[in-house]
Structure 1
Amino acid sequence: MHDNNSGHNKGERYLMRAGKQDRGPIEFRSRPADRQGGVMNIGVSDVVCVPPTMSICDGVETMTREGFRRLPIADAGSRKLRGIITVTDIVDFMGGGDRHNLVRNKHQGNFLSAINENLRSIMTENVMTLHTNDDMQAAVEIIVEKRHGGVPIIDNDEHVVGIVTEYDLLKSLSIEQSQLTVEDVMSYSPRVTYPDCSIAEVAKQMNKYHFRRLPVVSDDVLFGIVTATDIMKYVGSGEVFRSMQTGEVAEVTARPIRSIISGNLYTTTPQKDIHEIAREMIQKQIGAFPVTEDARLIGMITEYDLVKALAQR
């Protein structure tokens, strides 16, 4: 593991330890699955949509309250899809990428002013969608091959009638037969951060490397895991406002990430069957497990890894 002065940005570390065995990423052969039934059978039909005129602050509060990672943006009344906002967009807005320009440039770093802009200013407009007559395989192709964590389902008039996510696919695919174990599908040598790294630095790392979560390591010991949802909840729960004095974004993102990590730390081992770990993810409603061996972090396994593996059997 590199130390903090090895040429990386502050707070950016990369785990380079191998496990006991010389394990490489398994290669999957893409094979269309024979899965009948419409996508609405696995998706959620009771979808919360919000109008593009809603403020970013209210949108994030809605996502936090409902426990969503993504929120379709639709016209009030007709529910015609106009865009989508995701938890990664919120991280981007908080300091990671292009959406942060709204805070930094238009509002000169004033977080309170920027967060009252409407959702239209940071939403994704060209949304990849599924239609009511699409099947489960169509959802697999978008979520696995195009790496979208969730996809709105629309009717012929582009009205939002449902949504399907990685979690929904995992619940459906967990009954598929497979002989794979965690070590066959997990990601090795995960990039890590440390407890005193600032929210701003973690946001930059997540956006730069397109991660939704980072293991947190202290003195080579797994301390926890910080997720994009943790950063969103920091805003959506109102915690960001409680200790605010100046209202500047540099102030609200300077807090160490150890102060916003939530939930219990669950880990798994390389030898565990992927069906077992899929059931645990579903039961615990979490999106990833750090993988440990001999008390050392050696990798990560996520919802995406499991959906990909189970869909290609």
Structure 2
Amino acid sequence: MLVHAIMTSPAIAVRPETPIADAAKTMLDNHISGLPVVDAAGRLVGIVSEGDLIRRTELNTERKRSWLLELLTSPGKLANEYVSTHGRTVEDVMSSTVVSVTSATTLQDVVELMEKHHIKRLPVVSRDKLVGIVSRSDLLKALTKLLPTRTADSKDQEIEAAIINELSGQSWSRSGSIRVKVTDGVAELSGSILDERERLAAKVAAENVPGVRAVFDNLVYIDPYIGMI
């Protein structure tokens, strides 16, 4: 799946000269934690997030250092921090180095970029101009559409067969040691396991089968070293 299928477009954005108070209000009003920053031509020039606004003189949350660390910190770094904690416009606090994607970027690449850079959103650009944004919430929305839905009218035998088929395809289930019985959409798991971690895996495998309303775990753990339950 590509970014264009799930991105939010148009993206809510601010200008560099936007007052910080207005940017914060925009985030709160729209229930978002970050905003792309664009110039008058719509070109992406930065991004501002909640994290850029948490160390502020108004909150008395400026970075505190011992006198020795203060002495060892470069004047340039101290000057940058002063701007961040006292600045009045988005340009003063925004991150100008922005990781972005295009509408043709795959979701796999999106997730890898988010994990690599520890970020929650990626602006989507075309010829340097902002055309949208893709965030973690967009990924979750796509996931909910793709996850199987539970339907009450699936026949118990079909559900039972589907669970058994799923378990038989997993090396951890040691095919045949876990038994399945489905009644009115409720799956009962019985039999034995040799590793407690298989218990949750079997439960998840059953829950993912359409039509399953609940899963009862009656699995017995047998210690593989001493053979005791």
TM-score of the aligned structures, taking structure 1 as reference length = 0.38
Q: How does 1:47-196 map to 2 (within 5 A)?
A: 47-76=11-40, 78-93=41-56, 94=59, 95=61, 97=63, 105=82, 114=86, 117-155=88-126, 157-174=127-144, 175=146
Would the alpha carbon gap of residues 44 and 176 (structure 1) be closer, same or farther in structure 2, given more than 3 Å must change? same
User: For the residues of structure 1 that align with 2:111 and 2:137, how far apart are their CA atoms?
Assistant: 12
Would the alpha carbon gap of residues 102 and 73 (structure 1) be closer, same or farther in structure 2, given more than 3 Å must change? farther
User: For the residues of structure 2 that align with 1:88 and 1:127, how far apart are their CA atoms?
Assistant: 15
User: For the residues of structure 2 that align with 1:58 and 1:166, how far apart are their CA atoms?
Assistant: 24
Shift of 1:65: 1.4
AA partner of residue 19 (structure 2): S
Decide which structure has the larger Cα Rg and report it. Answer: 2
User: For the residues of structure 1 that align with 2:81 and 2:116, how far apart are their CA atoms?
Assistant: 34
User: For the residues of structure 2 that align with 1:129 and 1:52, how far apart are their CA atoms?
Assistant: 18
AA partner of residue 118 (structure 2): R
**Which residue is equivalent to 1:296?**
none
Runs of 4+ displaced beyond 6 Å: 101-104
Contact 2:39 2:45 in 1 (8 A): yes
User: For the residues of structure 1 that align with 2:63 and 2:124, how far apart are their CA atoms?
Assistant: 28
Shift of 1:106: 6.1
**Which residue is equivalent to 1:43?**
7
Would the alpha carbon gap of residues 123 and 41 (structure 1) be closer, same or farther in structure 2, given more than 3 Å must change? same
Q: CA RMSD in A?
A: 3.3
Shift of 1:105: 4.4
Would the alpha carbon gap of residues 121 and 105 (structure 1) be closer, same or farther in structure 2, given more than 3 Å must change? closer
Would the alpha carbon gap of residues 150 and 97 (structure 1) be closer, same or farther in structure 2, given more than 3 Å must change? farther
Shift of 1:146: 2.8
User: For the residues of structure 2 that align with 1:73 and 1:91, how far apart are their CA atoms?
Assistant: 18
Would the alpha carbon gap of residues 142 and 105 (structure 1) be closer, same or farther in structure 2, given more than 3 Å must change? closer
> What residue ranges of structure 1 are gaps of 5+ in the alignment?
1-35, 180-270, 277-313
The answer to which structure has the higher helix fraction is 2
Would the alpha carbon gap of residues 54 and 61 (structure 1) be closer, same or farther in structure 2, given more than 3 Å must change? same
SS of residue in 1 equivalent to 2:105: coil
How many residue pairs get matched? 137
Would the alpha carbon gap of residues 159 and 97 (structure 1) be closer, same or farther in structure 2, given more than 3 Å must change? farther
TM-score of the aligned structures, taking structure 2 as reference length = 0.51
